[in-house]
Amino acid sequence: MAKEFAIPPVQFPSGGSPTAGNVHQRRVATAPFQSPRSTSSSIPYMSFDIGAATTSSGIYGGPIGPYATASFEDEEPLLDELGIHLDQIWKKTKAILNPLRANPAIHRDSDLSGPIILYLSLCLFQLLAGKIQFGVILGWIVVSSIFLYIVFNMLAGRNGRLNLHTCTSIVGYCLLPLVILSAASLFLPPGSTGRLGAAGIFVLWATKACTGLMVALADGEEDHRGLIGYACLLIYTLFSLVVIF
């Protein structure tokens, strides 16, 4: 016995029965990228104007938003960002040229950019003389700075106010007379009396400048000027031996 199934009646959207020619409704072709005619379900038009977008977002220098960056004109120079101030280095170097009137106020703000430049200059003149002594000079600068720092703090006791950074800066800037000696030794015959005499003058020059700055930056250390000067004399005598021999 066959089982009968209840089939629901088919209802069309138009409410009428389908005909032979109207089974599939035809759609009207539209142009590509054309917005649909129905305004209720249409997507709003989006503008792709780059200038307007960047101005409103503030990404390229706009004042809007907390993450807006400044323009390149407002940024500091690259050397200033690295902590290299050429005008300050020139003032400190020029103060060493006159050891009798050294200005200690300029050297209170210590830095290592100037000493590194003088160190490279000394190594360059030694290289022109046929001596590769980069490691020796750098090692002596480090050892001499630590030596002068220990000697000064032992003499000053609890009143010592100079740190290792300041001592390294002063020792490096006072290398200027030795740099001039290294440049002048290129034109003097090795082992000559004039070369030894020039070395003695430049060593005294560097010792006088370094001692004056050390005593002036540490207030109330005039009593230990002789001992500090002796330590500075030993340091720059070793540098002069590197240049002479």
Query: What are 158-200's pLDDT values in tens digits?
Result: 666 778 898 999 999 999 999 999 999 999 888 788 889 999 9
- When pLDDT is cut at 50, 70 and 90, the band that residue 46 belongs to is low
- How far is residue 70 CA from its own chain's centroid? 20
CA separation for the pair 225, 167 (Å, rounded) = 15
Give how far Cα 43 sits from Cα of 33, 37, 46, 172, Å: 12, 11, 9, 71
Q: Which of 222, 212, 178, 227 is nearest to 98 (CA)?
A: 212
Q: Who's near 25: CB < 8 A, 6+ residues apart?
A: none
pTM above 0.95, yes or no: no
Whole-number pLDDT of residue 87: 87
* Residue ranges covered by each domain of the chain: 84-244
- Taking the CA atoms of residue 70, residue 76, residue 77 and residue 80 in that order, the dihedral angle to the nearest 10 degrees is -150
- When pLDDT is cut at 50, 70 and 90, the band that residue 29 belongs to is low
Q: Who's near 79: CB < 8 A, 6+ residues apart?
A: 85, 86
56 and 64 in contact (C-beta within 8 Å)? Answer: yes
Average pLDDT over the chain, rounded to an integer:
77
CA separation for the pair 202, 204 (Å, rounded) = 5
The structure tokens 């160190």 sit at: 119
pLDDT digits (tens, 9 = 90+) for 193-221: 888 999 999 999 999 999 988 888 876 56
Task: Write out the H or E segment, with its range, that includes residue 191.
Answer: none
pLDDT at 125 over 50: yes
| Segment 12-29 mean pLDDT | 52
CA separation for the pair 142, 238 (Å, rounded) = 13
- Dump the DSSP string for 208-235: HHHHHHHHHHSTT-GGGHHHHHHHHHHH
CB-hemisphere CA count at 13 Å for 168? Answer: 17
| Segment 139-157 mean pLDDT | 88
